[in-house]
Structure 1
Amino acid sequence: MISFELTEEQKIIQSTIAEFAREELSSEARRLDDAAVIDAGVLGKLWATEFIQLHATVDEEERSAVTSAIVLEELGAADAGLALAMASTMAFVGAVADQGTQEQRETLLPHFTGGSFQPAAVAIMEPSFGFDVERIEAKAARSGDDYTLNGKKAMVPLAGKCSHFLVIAQCDGALDALIVPREAAGVSVAETKGTMGLRALELAEVTFENVRVPAAARLSGGNGADVQRIIDGARTGVAAILTGLCRGVIEYVIPYTKERIVHGTALARKQTIAFNIADMHMDIEAMRWMTWKAASDLEHRRPSVQSAQLAYTYAGQQAVIITDNGLQALGGHGYTKEHPIELWYRNARALSVLEGIAGV
């Protein structure tokens, strides 16, 4: 029998982050979505959790993918956009701490242990219909002892505020990861065009045109990065956020349908509504267990391709169904900004199609 009994430390972290998310972040979600930007004050609150800084340590015993999944679920229950802002930087920092050379760790990780939130991102997605991580078009071609990077990346979180990008590209005939500073010549960030969901993340396209990348900037040096591990971590991170988002939906829908009286009976007593809520609960439990299984595989360095893909795919599919059912439970009210369901629905739709923008 598979069991993921949380340690005492994990239980403390879970309850602490849950309280923080409920008291500090939930009330900000609507304002940030309307403004389509995450202000420095809210980013400072995320930074104050010191969870990103924890990922900047090279001591693997201090980092746990399962604990990260727990944290991202709690943040996702408050606001998926803020959870993804955290997870995006975690993905970059975690990749450097996990796979970077000694020089890369010593040079980069101190940037993420300071007094303010410093965004960074893994750039995987590309602006092509039917994007597939197995067919990356960005290329890094040898140019003397270094490389010349060309390509475009799409939907990069907080792109305009990032100090560094970890660009996944074809390099020497295989996928590799290259560390590129935001201010490098040839790097340009497009204006945010606005999206249906995750509006506050300022998702933007980043172009790399003849960017000179030193050979020393290849993650893991000349050995080549384990790109699949980065992708698996990203899929697991998104699954955790979607689990939290869906938990937020059910925790809102249950009290609403108990209090809402229609034709003399509480909505929660209507068979269709009651069965939908029961299905939501079962699906969320399945999402969480699949996410923790993938995170456990990553943490213990077991093969994680299948578990991460299954967790990500299932969470994406069920999140759309769960948020839609939540919307229907509120009837016409679900489409108004008076309730957060429409925001969660938009965020779920966006998260279900994004690939490689998070990390545990």
Structure 2
Amino acid sequence: MGNDIQGIGLGLARRFAGSKLAEKSGLRRPAERLAYLSTRTGFRLAGSLIKPKQKAPSDPGERLPNSREKSLFDLSLTEEQMMIRDTVQSFAADVMRDLAHQADEQHTTPDDFTRQIQDLGLSLFAVPENLGGAAQAYAPTTSALIAEDLAWGDFSLALSALAPVAVANAIVRWGSRQQQEFWLPRWLGEAPVKAAIAVQESSPLFRSHHLGTRAKATRKGFIISGTKTLVPLNGEASLYLIAASLNDKPKLFLVAGDSKGLHFESRPAMGLKACGTGTLTLDQVEVDSAALLGGEHTDFDYQSFIDLGQLHWSAMAIGTCQAALDYLIPYCNERKAFGEPISHRQSVAFILADMATEIDAMRLMVWRAAARAEQGMSFHREAMLAHLLCSEKAMKIGTDAVQLLGGHGFTKEHPAERWYRDLRILSCITSGLHL
């Protein structure tokens, strides 16, 4: 009953914040803030009020049920998804936008931002209820919505926030019960968890199924050697999920950040500067047999793991592209040339119209692939098509954003140059995330 009353109250607050009455009375922003803070508190309480169920150990580990039945493709968002979006959108607007420029300039994620992400409680929704979290079902569509809204605030900071959640998602989706019970409680504590997935390698024309990083089985476990690139979090991760070839098959290994033989070297890239990318070298790193994700007998599907990662990147690209469009429309309506707003010129108006069309197409394709994954259906084809479209159109939208701002677009006076640099990563990286 208490949960029902809380849900009704939050729903009323959200509806009032979007009403004309709130706009006229000047209460829209306070109402949005109230809904944001209330929902954020609800995220935190959801995990603390649920007691884990005691189950006999078994392998594989806990598997969340699919959140949608095998029915027609449904584009409508649930009440819970709308509440989550309201909260994340408010956080992106109130917190991330103000931090983005400085974080990009300093090549680091602010400590305050890491704590605020922890307080937001997103990690609770990566962990199943019976392990102390708040996740009731496998819901990559909801994860895609969160990724999009965070990236609207800033692409690079969104990666810093989502990298640890992505590791938790992978452990929940593919891990053994032993691995879940050992690692996932870290995501439920008060201290922020730093974790990252490392798949990408620096070899030319890198393909995710042909890994240069190798794992060799030993009596005690495995020895892993290789090099990963574009790894986020500036070497501060306490846990890495490493992709390596074992008996010529790609596998994932849970490797503690303080393992002997593990070295991180900062290598700032063209974009993603705020999340502190670099090179991770594994020099004969020894791990025990429990490090293999899912164990020897598992339902792990490496291709699905890669596909979910590509969808995650695509969702983030959509959020940044939407941010660019939201920024450009008022700019083009206010910027005057030859006595009238530049948006009155068809060449400008058509570019903006194309942006809106392409963003909607990108979003629908990502949602379709994520929905099929939710339903337990094959989604490889849909994921690849969505990623292909997002890679091409995100780069075009980033370029057009710089172009429409003219000479200003090339300067740091406007965020378009940062969006352009970040969006370029979409066609350069394979996985590293997981819905």
Query: Counterpart in 2 of 1:9?
Result: 80
- Does residue 233 in structure 1 map to residue 304 in structure 2? no
Partner AA of 1:214 in structure 2: D
| Kept in 2: contact 1:76–1:82 (CA 8 A) | yes
> 8 Å contact 2:200–2:208 — kept in the other structure?
yes
Partner Cα distance (2:293, 2:311) in 1: 21
- 2:128 pairs with 44, 50, 57, which one? 57
Aligned-pair identity (%): 30
Deviates most, 58-67 or 201-210: 58-67
Superposed CA RMSD: 1.4
Paired with 2:319 and 2:110, the residues of 1 have a C-alpha distance of 22
Cα-to-partner distance string for 1:115-136 (whole Å, 9 max, x where unaligned): 1321111110011121111211
* Aligned twin of 2:16: none
Deviation at 1:159, TM superposition (A): 4.4
| Alpha-carbon separation, structure 2, partners of 1:359 and 1:113 | 19
Which of residues 295, 310, 314 in structure 2 aligns to 1:221? 295
Moved over 6 A (4+): none
- Residue of structure 2 in register with 1:250 after alignment: 325
CA distance in 2: counterparts of 1:306 and 1:251, whole angstroms: 31
Q: Is the 8 A contact 1:327 1:335 kept in 2?
A: yes
Aligned mates of 2:372, 2:111 — CA distance in 1: 35
SS at match of 1:135: coil
Select the residue among 184, 190, 195 that pairs with 1:109. Answer: 184
Partner of 2:386 in structure 1? 311
Cα distance in 1 for residues equivalent to 2:110 and 2:100: 12
| 8 Å contact from structure 2 (residues 73, 371) kept in 1 | no
Structure-2 residue corresponding to 1:28: 99
Larger Rg: 2
Task: Quote the Cα distance in structure 2 between the aligned partners of 1:218 and 1:68.
Answer: 25
TM-score by length of 2: 0.80
Structure 2: give runs of 5+ residues left out of the alignment.
1-71
What secondary structure sits across from 2:209 in the alignment? helix
Q: Give the superposition deviation at 1:74.
A: 0.6
3-state SS of paired residue (1:127): coil
Name the SS for the 2:189 alignment partner.
coil
Q: Does 2:117 correspond to 1:72? A: no
In structure 1, what is the equivalent of residue 60 of structure 2?
none
Contact kept? 1:101, 1:221, Cα under 8 Å:
yes
Structure 2 residue aligned with 1:329: 404
Looking at structure 2, the residues matched to 254 and 6 of structure 1 have their Cα atoms a distance apart, in angstroms, of: 26
* Structure 1 length-normalised TM: 0.96
Aligned residue pairs total 359
C-alpha separation in 1, matches of 2:409 and 2:168: 38
Matched AA of 1:284: I
C-alpha displacement at 1:321, in angstroms?
0.2
111-120 vs 222-231, which moves further: 222-231
**What does the per-residue CA deviation read over 1:283-339, in whole Å, with 9 as the maximum and x for residues that have no partner?**
000111111112112222211211122212211111110011111111111111111
Q: Which amino acid aligns with 2:284?
A: N
Deviates more, 1:278-287 or 1:3-12: 3-12
Partner of 1:135: 210
- Partner residue, 2:119: 48
Check conservation: 1:25, 1:79, Cα contact below 8 A: yes
Per the alignment, in what secondary structure is the counterpart of residue 244 of structure 2? strand
* CA 1:2–1:298: 2 relative to 1, 3 Å: closer
1:209-256 deviations in Å (ceiling 9; x for gaps): 111121221111112532222211111110000000000000000000
Q: Which residue of 2 aligns with 1:189?
A: 264
What CA distance in whole angstroms lies between the structure 2 residues aligned with 1:63 and 1:45? 25
User: 2:197 aligns to what?
Assistant: 122
Asked whether the equivalents of residues 220 and 289 of structure 2 are also in contact (C-alpha less than 8 Å), the reply is yes
After superposition, what is the alpha-carbon deviation per residue over 1:15-39, rounded to whole angstroms, capped at 9, x for unaligned? 2211111111111110100111002
Rounded Cα–Cα distance in structure 2 between residues aligned with 1:16 and 1:128: 40
Q: 1:127 to 1:162 in 2, by over 3 A?
A: same
1:155 match: secondary structure: strand
After superposition, the C-alpha distances for 1:130-185 in whole angstroms (9 at most, x for unaligned) are 11112111111122242111111111111411111111111133111111111111
Contact map agreement 2:222 2:288 (CA 8 A) in 1: yes
CA distance in 2 between partners of 1:232 and 1:150 (Å): 25
The one-letter amino acid paired with 1:24 is V
Q: Give, as a single letter, the amino acid of the residue that structure 2 aligns with 1:213.
A: V
Shift of 1:63: 4.3
SS in structure 2 at match of 1:61: coil
Query: Matches of 1:36 and 1:74 in 2, distance apart?
Result: 22
Unaligned runs of 5+ in 1: none
Partner of residue 61, structure 2: none
Q: Spell out, residue by residue over 1:35-81, the C-alpha distance to the aligned partner (whole angstroms, 9 max, x if none).
A: 11002101111122211232122666344111111111111111001
Secondary structure of the residue aligned to 2:163 is helix
Q: CA deviation at 1:96?
A: 0.8
Q: Which residue identity is paired with 1:197?
A: G
Give the residue type in structure 1 aligned to 2:336: I
Distance 1:349 1:269 in 2: 30
Alpha-carbon distance in 2 for matches of 1:39, 1:116: 15
Q: Cα offset for 1:103? A: 1.0
Does the 8 A contact of 2:267 with 2:279 survive in 1?
no
> How far apart, in 2, do the equivalents of 1:297 and 1:169 lie?
28
Counterpart-to-counterpart distance in 1, 2:350 and 2:228: 42
